[in-house]
Amino acid sequence: MEFMTISNTYVTIKERIEGAPKESNFEFKTEPLHLSAEPCLNRVIVKCYLVSIDPYILNCMKINCPPSLSDVVSVTPGQPIAAYGVGRVVASGFPEIERDELVVGFLSWGEYCVVEDGSKLRKLDPMGFPLSYHLGVLGLSGLTAYSGFFEVCKPRKGEKVFVSAASGSVGHLVGQFAKLFGCYVVGCAGTKHKVELLKEKLGFDDAFNYKEEFDLKSALRRCFPDGIDIYFDNVGGELLEAAVTNMNSNGRVAACGAIAEYINNRRRAALNLLDVISKRIAIQGFLTLDRIDMFSDFISTMSVINLDPPGGLVCPANRWQLASRRKKEVLCYLDMLNCGVEANKYTYPPLIKACSMLGRCSLRGSCLTECLRKTWCCGPP
């Protein structure tokens, strides 16, 4: 196995994307890959089991990708698209990682991934949970929700919390953390089903469909007659403006994402700075990758939280198979694949259509893609 040459299929962008992504921006490529890694070169080759498709990846594909993001998450035309994932090592030149070990870290949208620096991978102990949990509640999504809510927002029991994109991979966890902490929580989402999910399954005190609201400021005033103390922002745009208008003095905003602004620059938030100043509102942007050193503490904290149904933290995830290069069979839309919606497992992948859907306003959260060939080289996850 160490010296085998196999065909590795992956997804790439043809060129940097301007505006909304289209199917024509993406393509499948197949190249030979030598399954060997020389000792002392630190290179690790990983069979990808699961990768996470998140809205931030769209920013990495764009012409005007922020340098702070492109330096960490690489999306280069012609090369595999980087994404956080779980896989099994098939060859390793890094002394601390051995063949057949499970690892988690930035892999790629492909069947195999060559990681040049093995120190950037983390050996994975599944802890008895499905591997998908380690991309969601026990992965970057969980760390984002945990660090953003507790470290950035610094909540106090009884405070009133608003979460946008609340049915997404980060938002639904923020809401559940806030409820566990004793806060009053309202979320917004873009469909009736997601609103019902927030209230009936995820424990939010209230929720509304922002698409059905003519005036977002009035909608938030209705949900928070006594004002908002904490806003966990995944959207930006008009929702951020409306939230700031309704915030209490000394309110805190955790700026995690700006989904509304990823495609349409004309929807950028125009804050009332007099509100920010007079109410002494703290608005802090943050990147989870700056908080990787918190992972051990985060996992320790999560180990004492019940993640098992019923009665535990709700951890939905969506999965489908990746095994084909036929674009015309890419039929599954990401706006079907949000929290709590289980998609069909296609024989062929919806990846390119998924890419083209990343910019849709209805997209909320992370979807998991299974990277499969006809057989598993190291056994299925």
Q: Look up residue 215 and give its two tokens.
A: 């005036």
- The answer to the question of residue 300 being in a domain is no
Separation of alpha carbons 278 and 139, rounded Å = 38
We report the CATH number of the domain holding residue 13 as 3.90.180.10
- Do 152 and 191 lie in one domain? The reply is yes
- Do 265 and 215 lie in one domain? The reply is yes
Q: Exposed, middle or buried, 104 (CB in 10 Å: 0-12/13-18/19+)?
A: buried
Distances (CA, A) of 184 to 5, 158, 231, 251: 56, 6, 12, 14
In the DSSP assignment, the letter for residue 269 is -
Q: Which of 266, 287, 308 is the last residue of a domain?
A: 287
We report the CATH number of the domain holding residue 226 as 3.40.50.720
Q: Look up residue 271 and give its two tokens.
A: 């804050």
Q: What is the pLDDT along the chain (381 residues), one digit of tens a residue?
A: 446 888 888 888 888 888 777 777 888 888 999 887 676 689 999 998 888 777 777 778 877 777 766 666 778 899 998 888 899 999 999 999 999 999 999 998 888 999 999 999 999 988 888 888 888 888 888 999 999 999 999 999 999 999 999 988 899 999 999 999 999 999 999 999 999 999 998 999 999 999 999 999 999 999 999 999 999 999 988 999 999 999 999 999 999 988 777 666 656 667 788 999 999 999 999 988 788 888 888 888 887 777 765 566 777 655 444 444 333 333 232 223 333 322 222 222 344 444 443 333 332 333 344 433 322 222 334
- The answer to the question of residue 353 being in a domain is yes
Q: Could you list the beta-strand ranges (E) of 1-152.
A: 5-13, 26-34, 44-53, 82-92, 102-108, 112-115, 122-123
- Do 233 and 155 lie in one domain? The reply is yes
pLDDT digits (tens, 9 = 90+) for 243-268: 999 999 999 999 998 877 766 665 66
- The answer to the question of residue 323 being in a domain is yes
- Do 156 and 280 lie in one domain? The reply is yes
Q: Look up residue 307 and give its two tokens.
A: 């993640």
- Do 160 and 200 lie in one domain? The reply is yes
Q: What is the pLDDT of residue 85?
A: 87
Q: What is the pLDDT of residue 304?
A: 74
The range of the structural domain enclosing residue 39 comes to 5-135+317-371
**Is pTM beyond 0.85 here?**
no
Residue 155's DSSP bridge partners are: none
- Do 23 and 128 lie in one domain? The reply is yes
Cβ burial 53-76 (10 Å sphere, 16+ → b, else e): bbbbbbbbbbeebeeebeeebebe
Q: What backbone torsions phi and psi does residue 338 show, to the nearest 5 degrees? A: -90, 180
- Do 16 and 87 lie in one domain? The reply is yes
- The answer to the question of residue 301 being in a domain is no
- The answer to the question of residue 376 being in a domain is no
- The answer to the question of residue 303 being in a domain is no
Helix (H) or strand (E) holding 207: strand 206-209
Query: Is the bond preceding residue 310 a cis peptide, omega within 30 degrees?
Result: yes
Q: Closest by alpha carbon to 200, among 339, 372, 342, 22?
A: 339
Number of domains in the chain: 2
- Do 326 and 210 lie in one domain? The reply is no
Confirm if 122 and 146 have CB atoms less than 8 A apart.
Answer: no
- The answer to the question of residue 307 being in a domain is no
- Do 283 and 231 lie in one domain? The reply is yes
Q: What is the pLDDT of residue 212?
A: 95
- Do 333 and 219 lie in one domain? The reply is no
Spatial neighbors of 2 by CB under 8 A, at least 6 apart, are 35, 36, 91
Cα-Cα-Cα-Cα torsion 108, 111, 116, 120, nearest 10 degrees, comes to 50
- The answer to the question of residue 254 being in a domain is yes
Separation of alpha carbons 217 and 239, rounded Å = 8
- Do 266 and 231 lie in one domain? The reply is yes
- Do 17 and 126 lie in one domain? The reply is yes
